[in-house]
Amino acid sequence: MLSNDLTTIAVEVPVWFWAKEINEGISGHIDILQIRNNKVFILDYKPEAVKDKKAIGQLFLYARALSLRLWLPLDDFRCAWFDEENYFEFNPALANYKGVQV
């Protein structure tokens, strides 16, 4: 599948950073990173995507970490979580997570 995929640039990307606003370390792995339409897409597989209540917060923090490390504005990112039947996407620049307004 990935051999024919021209947009995926990495899979299982480790992420770690300290979020000063919430005084918490954030770590995890981004399942899929893609470049599409001049945006960096952070994609995360969730077995029951429609029921996942933590996906937005997790993906927002991954986007924030990459934004800081790559010196790219959050508006250059898109976040999405999915399963076999569903796909949900948002712009992290418009998100508000635990009082951290961007």
pLDDT of the chain, 102 residues: tens digit per residue: 556 788 999 999 998 877 777 787 778 999 999 999 999 999 999 999 999 988 998 999 899 889 988 999 999 999 999 999 999 999 999 986 655 443
Asked if 60 and 97 touch (Cβ cutoff 8 Å), the reply is yes
How far apart are the C-alpha atoms of 41 and 58, rounded to whole Å?
14
Residue of 36, 45, 49, 24 lying closest to 77 (CA atoms): 36
Domains by residue range for the chain, with CATH: 2-101 (3.90.320.10)
Range list of H helices, the chain: 55-70
CA distance 88 to 81: 6
**Residue for token pair 């990173």:** 33
